[in-house]
Structure 1
Amino acid sequence: MPRTDWPRTILHVDLDAFYTSVHQRDDTFLRNRPLAVAGRSKRAVVMGASYEARSHGVHSAQPLHEALERCPGLTVVPPDPARYKDASRRVHAIFRRLTTAELIEGVALDEAYLDVTVRSRHAGPEEIGRRIKFAIQEEVKLTASVGVATSKLLAKVAGASRKPDGLVIVQPGQEASFLGPLPVGVVPGLGPKTEERLRLMGVRTVGELADYDTQRLLQAFGSSGAMLQRLAQGRDRNPVRGAKPAQTISAERTFEDDITDREQLEVSLRELVQSVAERLRGDLLQARTVYIKLKLTGYGQLSRQVSQTSPTDDPESIFRAALSALRKSYFEDRPVRLLGVGVSGLKHPQPQLQLTLFE
């Protein structure tokens, strides 16, 4: 019989090596090879790395040239956003079918929290986790690691503790014994600098952080010290939040060689606007505000925005607004490293009423 004494039942689902796994799924040549997803520019960084590549020290957000130095046999493929979005959409369809749609919080294309408290009273937490993993494997041909616990924090740490293709259950009452021996770096939100400071204070495990003198943590880290200690003690009541409507839609391009030519910038601007407008229309949205972002070599970053009288999804209207913002940027002849375009003030268009002859 499934247990019914869980105060909350939270699942954390993380698709294993998502970006490279999609490519390996679709191309047998890429399977079992060190693989990275990255652009081709001189400034490209690794977007995702297969487990075969990770064993050579390749990881996400690493400069591509460094990844190639660490793994000379690395195969590099360009990003394919359409395929990633399709795989994520199919996985979320499984979530909605097997759980309660309103209690699914997508963190990224490859990661989500699910509150299955009500459903688990009938099927049991472990059974739900197994069903989700099986459905993802059968229908999307990808593997997922799943953590099940009474909180988001514990579920995330549990799922990450046995990758790839893992399923880890932390039963109610076992939170401290599960977290205690783990390295303190597993606590979400605890960065490398904080971890190093804690190490110098003699704190190396989550259990040691949980038991540490609270006043000394407050002196060292301020209010965030108390928050980190609460997380280390497994005290996390953050709810699973349903999907939030998009606040902005944007696209950007990093140039392989810095450019100063205004005409070239405007050509790139139009291409980025087209991408943004397609996403607006695909999501049945319109935008009121258009903004541009520029990264200038040696001069940091600047941005400008233009608000329109009424929301639109028309590429030409968005381009005119973006071009106006670009021309107001006053960057003279400074070399441009990156150009971005975005829209905000998003809303669904009001349906137009059509009058009949008799009306």
Structure 2
Amino acid sequence: MPSLCRDCFVQSADAPRRCPACASARMVSHPELFGLSIAHIDCDAFFASVEKRDRPELAARPVIIGGGQRGVVSTACYLARTRGVKSAMPMFKALAACPDAVVIKPDFAKYVAASRQIRALMESLTPLVQAMSIDEAVLDLSGTEALHGAPPAVALARLARQVEKEVGVTVSMGLAPNRLLAKIAVERDKPRGMAVIGAAEAGALLAPEPVTILPGVGPAFAAKLGGMGFSTLGQLASLDMREAMRRFGEEGPTLVARARGEDSRPVRPERETKSVSAETTFDRDIARPEELEPMLWRLCEKLARRLAEKGFAAGGVVLKLKTARFALRTRNARLPGPSAVPETLFHAARPLLAREADGTAFRLIGIGAQPLVEASAADHGDLADPEAPRRAARWAAMEALRGKFGDRAVAVGRGIGARS
């Protein structure tokens, strides 16, 4: 069976338990190992790994990245995870599970810098790199064997070592014939792993797995599927496409195909941005509208900046609130015309907040733009809203002053004192 040493990159025709050249136990073996070219790469506990890289004294300590006693866990190192800490867990629960953890506030500038280093190394292998988030990406290495003088599996193993050496973090990799299987594979061997799923084995391998193994199938959808008698991928895969359509509508055939391990999506270098948002968690629960509104205004300013950075405007807004008991509320409003001006975003979101601020205590507030439209289509004004261009000009002037003299150079009254 074809095998590869992930430490010295020696290729073997059989499947030795240890590398015949360097005696490493980090061998990967699979019948299709050297014929597959779609890879999913996921950085291991990325934020925590970057912090441990910069603070070696934390190497053997459980580390949690998050924001304060009232925040949530952004990520945790694998040591903290063995104690029960999970991403998105409330911080007080994380500290109850792992009281000796070192808690570090996120330093996103540092994480972005490391992410860009890794992205550049990926792009040295192939131009077909699609970023899925700050710490994971999918690559298509088809046709690169002549360029690298080795099959994609070997090029990926070399990449993993290069990331460790030059960036100081580790990655896990999934290798497969398509994006779906590569994503499933990468979850099977973490951290610092390399897992392979071949086309020939996909159906049998997936059949006994729970439906939740499919990306996008969360607890609510899984419960719905379970109520219909589908708890495993094999049960879904047994449906023909007509029956899938009847039971699940237009998405049924795609769902059944994914349950069989089929996925025809290409790797696209530019990932489509579906939404842009900003949110904040309070130091204490807040119920009074007069306290919530300044927070909302400051978030609308943040959202406007993020839209400008990405070249988008909002066709509508989504208000997000989380109660003191962690119940999530989302409310939507369509804008009369596309906008990337905080004043317009605020006036659309403010009535949504007023309806929800009924005495309920909230721990988090957020504002998002959805749907997204091109920035060139925004704030032109019409008979219904002739002031739109003036609002856009005022916002642009304020941002120019802030860029020259600092963020505190100019402020809108409703945002003064907000702590978002």
TM-score tier (shorter):
0.7 to 0.9
Q: Alpha-carbon deviation of 1:325?
A: 2.5
Deviates more, 1:8-17 or 1:334-343: 334-343
- Distance in 1, matches of 2:274 and 2:126, equals 26
CA contact (8 A) 2:69 2:91 kept: no
Within 5 Å, which residues of 2 pair with 1:126-141? 126-141=153-168
| Aligned pair partner of 1:32 in 60, 69, 72 | 60
Does 1:78 pair with 2:105?
Answer: yes
5 and 126 in structure 1: CA distance in 2 versus 1, 3 angstrom threshold: closer
213 and 280 in structure 1: CA distance in 2 versus 1, 3 angstrom threshold: closer
CA contact (8 A) 1:252 1:340 kept: yes
Within 5 Å, which residues of 2 pair with 1:248-263? 248-263=275-290
| Aligned pair partner of 1:58 in 85, 108, 116 | 85
Q: Which residue of 1 aligns with 2:348?
A: 325
Q: Which residue of 1 aligns with 2:185?
A: 158
Q: Deviations over 1:62-103 (max 9, x none)?
A: 232222222222222222222222222222122222212xx2
Deviates more, 1:108-117 or 1:24-33: 24-33
- Distance in 2, matches of 1:188 and 1:39, equals 27
Q: Which residue of 2 aligns with 1:97?
A: 124
Does 1:244 pair with 2:268?
Answer: no
| Aligned pair partner of 1:117 in 118, 142, 158 | 142
CA contact (8 A) 1:292 1:322 kept: no
Q: Which residue of 2 aligns with 1:23?
A: 51
Matched residue SS, 1:272: helix
Q: Alpha-carbon deviation of 1:302?
A: 2.9
Q: Deviations over 1:206-260 (max 9, x none)?
A: 6x55885769x96997477765554454333222233135354221123233334
TM-score (norm 1): 0.75
Q: How many residue pairs get matched?
A: 336
Q: Which residue of 2 aligns with 1:341?
A: 367
CA contact (8 A) 1:210 1:232 kept: yes
Matched residue SS, 2:374: coil
Q: Match of 1:324, as an amino acid? A: H
Q: Alpha-carbon deviation of 1:149?
A: 1.5
Q: Alpha-carbon deviation of 1:182?
A: 6.4
Structure 1 unaligned regions, length at least 5: 313-317, 351-359
263 and 199 in structure 1: CA distance in 2 versus 1, 3 angstrom threshold: closer
CA contact (8 A) 1:292 1:325 kept: no
Q: Alpha-carbon deviation of 1:134?
A: 2.2
CA contact (8 A) 1:129 1:148 kept: no
- Distance in 2, matches of 1:320 and 1:76, equals 36
**Greater RCO between the two (CA within 8 Å, min separation 6)?**
1
Q: Match of 2:375, as an amino acid? A: K
CA contact (8 A) 2:33 2:196 kept: no
Q: Which residue of 2 aligns with 1:275?
A: 302
62 and 118 in structure 1: CA distance in 2 versus 1, 3 angstrom threshold: same
Q: Alpha-carbon deviation of 1:143?
A: 0.6
- Distance in 2, matches of 1:248 and 1:213, equals 34
Q: Which residue of 2 aligns with 1:106?
A: 131
105 and 76 in structure 1: CA distance in 2 versus 1, 3 angstrom threshold: same
- Distance in 1, matches of 2:34 and 2:240, equals 31
270 and 159 in structure 1: CA distance in 2 versus 1, 3 angstrom threshold: same
Matched residue SS, 1:253: strand
| RMSD across aligned positions (CA) | 4.1
TM-score (norm 2): 0.66
Q: Match of 1:293, as an amino acid? A: L
268 and 17 in structure 1: CA distance in 2 versus 1, 3 angstrom threshold: same
Q: Alpha-carbon deviation of 1:304?
A: 3.8
Within 5 Å, which residues of 2 pair with 1:165-176? 165-171=192-198, 173-175=200-202
- Distance in 2, matches of 1:20 and 1:177, equals 36
CA contact (8 A) 2:176 2:199 kept: yes
Structure 2 unaligned regions, length at least 5: 1-10, 13-31, 379-420
Does 1:295 pair with 2:318?
Answer: no
Q: Alpha-carbon deviation of 1:51?
A: 0.6
Q: Which residue of 2 aligns with 1:355?
A: none
219 and 320 in structure 1: CA distance in 2 versus 1, 3 angstrom threshold: closer
Q: Alpha-carbon deviation of 1:346?
A: 3.4
- Distance in 2, matches of 1:322 and 1:199, equals 40
- Distance in 2, matches of 1:213 and 1:248, equals 34
- Distance in 1, matches of 2:229 and 2:313, equals 50
Tell me the percent identity: 30
- Distance in 1, matches of 2:257 and 2:190, equals 26
CA contact (8 A) 1:291 1:322 kept: yes
Within 5 Å, which residues of 2 pair with 1:175-186? 175=202, 186=213
41 and 53 in structure 1: CA distance in 2 versus 1, 3 angstrom threshold: closer
CA contact (8 A) 2:43 2:172 kept: yes
346 and 79 in structure 1: CA distance in 2 versus 1, 3 angstrom threshold: farther
